[in-house]
Amino acid sequence: MTYVTESNITDIVLDRWEAVPDQRFRRIMQSMIKHLHALVRDIEPTEQEWMAAIEWLTRTGKLSNEKRQEFVLASDVVGVSMLIDCINHRLSSEATPTTVTGPFHVHGSPNLPNGADIARGAPGEPCYIAGSVRNLDGKPIVGATLDIWQADGDGHYDAQHGGDEAWMRGVFRSDSTGAFVVQTVLPVPYSIPMDGPVGEIMARTKISPMRPSHIHFLINAPGHHQLITHLFKKSCPYIASDVVYGVKAPLISEFDLMPAGSVTPNGTIAHHAFWMLQYDFVLEPITEHASTKTSAAAQGCLAPGG
Q: Which of 60, 99, 102, 128 is close enough to bind Fe ion by CB under 5 A?
A: 102
Buried b (16+ CB within 10 A) or exposed e, 75-109: bbbeebbbebbbeebebeeebbbbbbbbbbbeeeb
- Which is closer to Fe ion, CB of 144 or CB of 148? 148
Q: Which residues pair with 171 in a beta bridge?
A: 111, 147
DSSP-based three-state secondary structure for 291 = helix
Rounded least distance, CB 27 to Fe ion, Å: 33
Rounded least distance, CB 305 to Fe ion, Å: 12
Rounded least distance, CB 252 to Fe ion, Å: 15
DSSP-based three-state secondary structure for 266 = coil
Q: Amino acid letter at 25?
A: F
- Which is closer to Fe ion, CB of 102 or CB of 196? 102
- Which is closer to Fe ion, CB of 112 or CB of 231? 231
Binding segment for Fe ion among 81-89, 97-105, 235-243, 269-277 (CB under 5 A)? 97-105
CA gyration radius, the chain:
23
Rounded least distance, CB 143 to Fe ion, Å: 26
Binding segment for Fe ion among 101-109, 113-121, 125-133, 237-245 (CB under 5 A)? 101-109
CB 159 within 8 A of CB 106: yes
x-or-dash string of contact with Fe ion, 43-82, rule CB under 5 A: ----------------------------------------
Binding segment for Fe ion among 83-91, 95-103, 106-114, 158-166 (CB under 5 A)? 95-103
Rounded least distance, CB 9 to Fe ion, Å: 43
Rounded least distance, CB 214 to Fe ion, Å: 6
Maximum C-alpha span of the chain: 85
- Which is closer to Fe ion, CB of 102 or CB of 126? 102
* Rounded CA separation 304/81 (Å): 6
Give the footprint of Fe ion on residues 7-36 (CB under 5 A).
none
Alpha carbon 302 to its chain centroid, in Å, reads 14
Q: Which residues pair with 204 in a beta bridge?
A: none
Binding segment for Fe ion among 14-22, 34-42, 100-108, 123-131 (CB under 5 A)? 100-108
Q: Amino acid letter at 279?
A: Y
Count residues binding Fe ion (CB under 5 A). 1
Rounded least distance, CB 125 to Fe ion, Å: 18
* Rounded CA separation 120/148 (Å): 14
Please tell me whether residue 265 binds Fe ion under the rule CB under 5 A.
no
- Which is closer to Fe ion, CB of 126 or CB of 246? 246
Rounded least distance, CB 283 to Fe ion, Å: 21
Residue 187 has φ and ψ, to the nearest 5°, of -70, 150
* Rounded CA separation 272/265 (Å): 14
Binding segment for Fe ion among 94-102, 128-136, 278-286, 295-303 (CB under 5 A)? 94-102
Q: Amino acid letter at 60?
A: T
CB 272 within 8 A of CB 68: no
* Rounded CA separation 136/142 (Å): 14
Residue nearest to Fe ion (CB): 102
* Rounded CA separation 251/230 (Å): 7
* Rounded CA separation 125/237 (Å): 18
Give the footprint of Fe ion on residues 118-177 (CB under 5 A).
none
Summarize as ranges the residues that interact with Fe ion (CB under 5 A): 102
